[in-house]
Structure 1
């Protein structure tokens, strides 16, 4: 019998609901967030933000602020290192110099003995500005003669062009061609904890930063580059993260300014954003205008697709370049028969606050346009919309138009699951409502990556496992837990391999001094990449334990059993048992002994497609899918939309922890519903008018329907125990599903988010006028 077969599986929680490892400390209030840390001599930092969207900085007078008792530093852009920083392209200093490009840009930083003194000092700073012409929209940005946000750019940040097959010939031979334009709005990440950082210089002169982040190593690289330091002179520690949703990857400036101030002063500094600070300083998702032209053959197969996107990255591009690329091409990989694609994407600079990474990373924008478009095409063809989506859905084993190799693909099963749960078959046959309140039903589907090879041709994950003297196992990883349950998943994988309870595994917080390198929690990569590394680490530990136990007991490894933290041989008598703790001590306390520690790496067999001009290749080891069905009731007198029922199906390969998958899927669906119906960042002359949670309407528990979450287990061959990324994909289909349901209810197609009562009423009036026009069809 093999050692793997002799593992006692009773302890494994793989596939079972497992509470988060850190649930107790969060529920009892003992979790330490960045804002909770206090240090002797710590100063508090606040920043003065620009009131202008576009202006030259004529002068900065800080004399009165410096004279205020309790103020230790008042610094402006000229005091920052003379080097530019940025994610994709280096475009700005740590604080603004010479000119500001958006309302809220950081101009002056004050460090004082407390927050109140720092705020008082900001009131004493005098900055003289010379206003410049505004670039209010992406259309205005690209007009000839427009003012430039960045000189000599023509306000064009980047342009993508991708073409495959013979697009014109495919359209010429299509049975139906449909074209329409859709518009999406920016979404604020909406995490519970605003950005917060504490930074200091240790006794060796190294900069230490404890911050709320999704990636300690990407942040370390950023601080070192911006400050002109070697990476070895910077240490970044992840504090408990109160939600992130993409907004805490590497773009925000809170932690960078705090790190710089601490390095400059040699004192501990804390910088905690107010909610308004966070609205102005966070990266919202880019607004996009998406024009889709699609052709289908007589069998209802999508055979041609043309996509044109104009996106607004705000004042600085950051990760918005990659977001645009995702919106432009990723959804193409859902279509099984598509081989002819033409895509053009342009990203424009405006004087809006910078846009960047938010949950879904360009997928929600594309999913809204695509699923709305497909539903209209299905109606024109006289095909049931769910059937139309299913017959075009990719299957396991397919290679998509852009080279995605689909080891698993449960998109069709997701459609089956949600259509059955929502009662589609019966509800599509019911008589149409004719009263004031009318019901409708809608569907949508989506694709997302599980990992993405785009940084330095490495998309791996490293896990170090160590067995302590009392038999516990500790794991170190460079990936981050930001509330999604990543560390619980890693503990499950390792515990399963060792036949011990999850409670016997500790996953240490990420720390660039102590953790192995990792890109962090981005692109739904942690489960499939770090999960595989944790399994390999667990197996390596198991091998070491078995080899030592075999030596001590004088029993072949194949006759040993591992269970409950012990190793024993059932075929011998007397039955001596060795605990993991005993074996750990024996491994160390012997001639030439060492600590029982292993390091395991998993780097998937994927392709760096971004390095190729045609951007073709398999970028991820797995691809996740989701579908959502929504039933709404629309009040034709008020335009109000009430969601009566919604079902979300998440193809996550295998649900290692169904409790976490369901929780995160419901949260993703809630975020999609908010973006579809409520959330809209309102600007006047590029000034944000609703930068607070009173005026920026996010869905509350009372405004959300009961969200039914379902799981499709498609068993990803590259995944740990068949798993792949879960739940992020579930945010993508919501807006389109709601738009399709509204159209089904009242016949009004909303192509511009959010789906507000005003837009519905305007659509109803336009439809009534069209119906009343002479010669109009009243069928």
Structure 2
């Protein structure tokens, strides 16, 4: 904690760096928390949507007469009833409901509002839609082939293309001692949150639209509703409900809240819309599938000096945030390499008739990390270098400016590597004799980089916190950022409480409400701790300054002779028995001539650069960068191809761990999510129809299938961060898949370059090994 020269603070009161229970844990555990689907209001109608059974088709006609006549039905509306403006995160591509054409199975075509959910479902069964099926764009290769039908007219099925080149790449490859190239493929991952999207919306007496939604970006949602419905932003209010997990999927792309908002505004009645799990699989945004071709060159010292990347990604029927996801996959992982100066990047994003893809935890980082770390393990083997040593040689350090202009005030990648190596016993386990039995053990390693904040929307990546001291001496904080289960409100309460030397329980962080909260982008890009945390500290310090000034005036004591502790201010030497409570001072702040409530607003906007506005994508986009490393020990059954994770250790460089309890919990959760993506999770399609849109068929890791996840924290102390903190846990999602792939290779010699790592792929690799060995024997016979 930074000490002030104006007054002394009771350092023992601070919880910074101490395990601290979540401030909203009790209301969740007792069932008092109001999630999106829990809210009820008199006269509320229930909304359901009819989704397209076709992946690509023209809508010939829609007959809603029978549905409209069903008792209890209040509205049956189609795309023709919606505003004729197009909506979308960046490119405006679709109406609120589909009109002339559907582009994926599950696209919303008809919306029904009825007195209860059963009636709404019955009404959907009565709607008759005539479609004219169109040829499908099955995959991203087909999408960009000449003559393929277009998902969106005049696009050639190319959503966006990036080209970035730095230095003399061809020359760098020419002088490399070793060059290796390979292709890797990743699949789409469903966010997998417990609570599907849920929204309640209504129109108030003054005609303003109010939307209560489980969103992680309330202000961005408000802008979207206003734009789509043709309303002034001031006519829309968004209230964040308690969020039952988000993992990126509840940003600003999903259509549940948009359709609900429009129906409520159209009818002037409260409307509730809760996705079924299948609705959510179809309507949520999964991560883009990517094919990554990677070529890297190293010198004779084992230093990475040249890199070329080509990525083809599938954004599905609408692009949304997938354009930014691709940019992250292309650019960000390059910034792990300290000596890399020559790089060439080419990325293309293709429209297909799959459901739309977008933001999921890690935001393009997991795809790149899988390819990069698999590639580095192969390079290390060819060089005869231990893979951890190879990564350590090339790891960036604090003070470096990377190939893409990232300025690293802190960088704990090397420390993460060391912590994980020691934690899992890397040296001992790598030195053991290879297994030759049916079950064989192997160990793998991987590292990753992620941002803490990202200047990409306009030229502002700030955060604003308003602090208000009530007349009992306690504090309420308002923020436009959100807590989606990751502990953001606890962190903000800790920062403010530390500056005022009061218990965390004396600080209440209010849910985001666009009518009363200061503006904020929301919980994206691991930005809340480093940005909102700094703003909360500034707000706490300003309140403390006002309290000290008033106490100094009242007690007749210089501020430097005052101590702040336990919600009181008292003289340190003179007048030792004179003390004023925060409550007394808050009342005095009001009840005096010209007095006012003790309220402050503080802003933090970091010294970063809007790199995405430049064609070369160069610049320092974040105030801090987080790093992680993970090691995994597996056992592979050579008869069944089954992979069992025996042990794993993940290390998270989060700067200062403001709340180690939350960091460990979120880091372990991120590792679990990466294990699922690596081994189990795959959205399966047949003719663009999702085949496993439920938790029975979409396999996610259960508690019994997960190992005991060990996690460690590296406190690299970020100069731009609150108390040295930066983003935590999202980075820990990135290295897991590659670590597992590298461990499988170490165990059985089968290199899996296409996720997920299934038993079938392992067995196919083992059969190929046997065939190759047999052919070699025949040649030498």
The alignment status of 1:577 with 2:579, answered yes or no, reads: yes
1:334 matched residue in structure 2: 336
2:531 matched residue in structure 1: 529
How much does 1:3 deviate? 4.6
CA distance in 1, matches of 2:298, 2:676: 32
CA deviation string 1:655-711 (max 9, x = no partner):
000000000000000000000000010000000000000000000111100000100
CA distance in 2, matches of 1:94, 1:590: 53
Secondary structure of the residue aligned to 1:151 is coil
CA distance in 2, matches of 1:457, 1:432: 54
CA distance in 2, matches of 1:344, 1:506: 47
- Whether contact under 8 Å (1:3, 1:560) holds in the other structure is no
Q: Structure 1: state its 5+ residue gaps.
A: none
CA distance in 2, matches of 1:691, 1:408: 42
Aligned residues: CA RMSD: 0.9
The alignment status of 1:263 with 2:258, answered yes or no, reads: no
| Residue 452 of structure 1, aligned match among 448, 454, 474 | 454
CA distance in 2, matches of 1:297, 1:774: 32
- Whether contact under 8 Å (2:7, 2:564) holds in the other structure is no
- Whether contact under 8 Å (2:6, 2:559) holds in the other structure is no
- Whether contact under 8 Å (1:212, 1:239) holds in the other structure is yes
CA deviation string 1:613-666 (max 9, x = no partner):
111000000000000000000000000000000000000001000000000000
CA distance in 2, matches of 1:358, 1:4: 45
Paired residues, number: 778
| Residue 659 of structure 1, aligned match among 644, 661, 672 | 661
| Residue 625 of structure 1, aligned match among 623, 627, 651 | 627
- Whether contact under 8 Å (2:179, 2:298) holds in the other structure is yes
The alignment status of 1:601 with 2:586, answered yes or no, reads: no
| Residue 207 of structure 2, aligned match among 205, 208, 211 | 205
Q: How does 1:250-289 map to 2 (within 5 A)?
A: 250-289=252-291
How much does 1:4 deviate? 6.2
- Whether contact under 8 Å (1:770, 1:776) holds in the other structure is no
Q: How does 1:163-242 map to 2 (within 5 A)?
A: 163-242=165-244
2:296 matched residue in structure 1: 294
CA distance in 2, matches of 1:677, 1:429: 26
Secondary structure of the residue aligned to 2:9 is coil
1:614 matched residue in structure 2: 616
How much does 1:573 deviate? 2.8
Q: How does 1:178-577 map to 2 (within 5 A)?
A: 178-573=180-575, 575-577=577-579
How much does 1:572 deviate? 1.6
CA distance in 2, matches of 1:771, 1:715: 52
Provide TM-score, normalisation by structure 1: 0.99
CA deviation string 1:388-443 (max 9, x = no partner):
01100100000000000000000011011111111111111111100000000000
Q: How does 1:690-709 map to 2 (within 5 A)?
A: 690-709=692-711
The alignment status of 1:721 with 2:723, answered yes or no, reads: yes
CA distance in 2, matches of 1:738, 1:233: 50
1:114 matched residue in structure 2: 116
**Counterparts in 2 of 1:413 and 1:579: CA distance versus 1, 3 Å:** same
2:52 matched residue in structure 1: 50
How much does 1:2 deviate? 4.9
CA distance in 1, matches of 2:595, 2:380: 69
CA distance in 2, matches of 1:176, 1:639: 32
How much does 1:33 deviate? 0.5
CA distance in 1, matches of 2:762, 2:299: 33
How much does 1:771 deviate? 1.2
How much does 1:772 deviate? 1.1
Provide TM-score, normalisation by structure 2: 0.99
How much does 1:570 deviate? 2.1
- Whether contact under 8 Å (2:210, 2:238) holds in the other structure is yes
CA distance in 2, matches of 1:329, 1:96: 35
Q: Which runs of 4+ in 1 moved over 3 A?
A: 1-5, 774-778
CA deviation string 1:350-373 (max 9, x = no partner):
000000000000000000000000
The alignment status of 1:61 with 2:63, answered yes or no, reads: yes
- Whether contact under 8 Å (1:468, 1:584) holds in the other structure is yes
How much does 1:774 deviate? 3.5
